[in-house]
Amino acid sequence: MDASGAQEYDRMQDLKDFDKTEAGVKGLVDSGLQKIPKIFVRPAEELAEDLKHKKAQIEVPVIDLGGLEKADRHKQIVEEVRTASETWGFFQVVNHGISLNVLDEMLDGIQKFNEQGVEEKKKYYTRDKIKRVRFHCNFDLFKSRTASWRDTLQISFSDPDQNDSEELPALCRKSTVEYSKHVVELGNILFGLLSEALGLKPEHLGNMDCSKGHHLTCHYYPACPEPELTLGTAKHSDPGFLTILLQNQINGLQIFFQNQWIDVQPIRGALVINIGDLLQLVSNGKFKSNKHRVVANRLGPRISVACFFSGPIIMDKVFYGPIEELISEENPAIYKEVLLSDYVMKFIAAGLDDNFLVNYFKV
């Protein structure tokens, strides 16, 4: 009880009770609720702050990767990648070499996983970071100011000793293994283009192991009865080097650019690419890791699959700092070298909530 005699709201207890259901947001929706629980409601001052930002109708650049093998076109693509990475930190790619069928199957597998009986899903519900396959509602549920309207299945492909596909949920096993193979190939192509866009040899970022170790973070955002009160994913930047995001046709992704929220419109067959904090760091600030979020939607489900390239799995001896070739007397290093394991620990400890990890490592 507080001074006025009103029952104090025990947020922690509510979070624990909700987590214990192991049924996620989808479980709430299935129970037929019309109002979202308080743990999901953003503070009034945050909602008011949001109204101050205009929404602009500009579009994130779309880069056509077709003809990459032709010298002229290749040069042009590198230029487009450079401009987008230096300004937006975001672009969409089309003609990227992954067939529509592989993309659709990936999304379909995630939909099936989330829409099966809850007992089967519960087998994967965990917050244990050691597990290769993890299903949960908000990795930072107990740390964030407000819970977000999404459930997530995370699958790591980082450890070559841990790649038994039998561990993956049956309903999305085949499609995920297939997509994973293709997305790694695309990742390698993109790291090549990004290296060239930095004026380096195509293999530079690859040789730094930026493309080593990826994980798929598969989000399921159920339709929300009160979308204006919550978010699907809170504002954040991605901590790794690069993210390749596959989204279905239900929009929600927005990026914060020039003080405005910009919708990233789903384009069928396209993939959204964004620069992460570590690439901002190694590029000495040349490339921008931009803040983004997902708004909740009355329509749903929105399904997205983020492939994060975050560097090698064994991180306790791996350091990353601004690339030597990019620093000079006129362009001194603006970031310190970081030990990858320290960096990842900081991210996990902080949760999403508007943290901008590279700021901790400014010179």
Which residues would be at the binding site for ligand OGA (CB under 6 A)? Answer: 217, 219, 233, 238, 245, 247, 253, 292, 294, 304, 306
Which residue number, 182 or 302, has a Cβ lying nearer to ligand OGA? 302
Min dist CB 172 to ligand OGA, Å, is: 16
β-strands 260-263, 55-56 pairing: parallel
Decide which of Ni ion, ligand OGA, none touches 25; Cβ closer than 5 to 8 Å per partner kind: none
Distance CA 4, CA 84 (A): 54
User: Which residues bind to Ni ion, rule: CB under 5 A?
Assistant: 238
Edge-to-edge strands, sheet with 214-221: 62-64, 90-94, 271-275, 242-247, 302-309, 214-221, 151-156, 133-136
Distance CA 41, CA 318 (A): 40
Decide which of ligand OGA, Ni ion, none touches 215; Cβ closer than 5 to 8 Å per partner kind: none
Decide which of Ni ion, ligand OGA, none touches 216; Cβ closer than 5 to 8 Å per partner kind: none
Which residue number, 17 or 353, has a Cβ lying nearer to Ni ion? 353
Min dist CB 329 to ligand OGA, Å, is: 37
Which residue number, 61 or 66, has a Cβ lying nearer to Ni ion? 61
Min dist CB 223 to ligand OGA, Å, is: 15
Min dist CB 332 to ligand OGA, Å, is: 31
Measured at CB, which residue is nearest to ligand OGA? Answer: 304
Give the single-character DSSP code of 145.
Answer: S
Distance CA 308, CA 190 (A): 13
Those residues whose C-beta lies under 8 Å from the C-beta of residue 201, and which sit 6 or more positions away, are 195
Decide which of Ni ion, ligand OGA, none touches 290; Cβ closer than 5 to 8 Å per partner kind: none
Min dist CB 156 to ligand OGA, Å, is: 14
Those residues whose C-beta lies under 8 Å from the C-beta of residue 71, and which sit 6 or more positions away, are none
Tokens of 109: 């597998």
3-class DSSP state of 118: helix
Which residue number, 156 or 304, has a Cβ lying nearer to ligand OGA? 304
Distance CA 36, CA 223 (A): 11
Decide which of ligand OGA, Ni ion, none touches 134; Cβ closer than 5 to 8 Å per partner kind: none
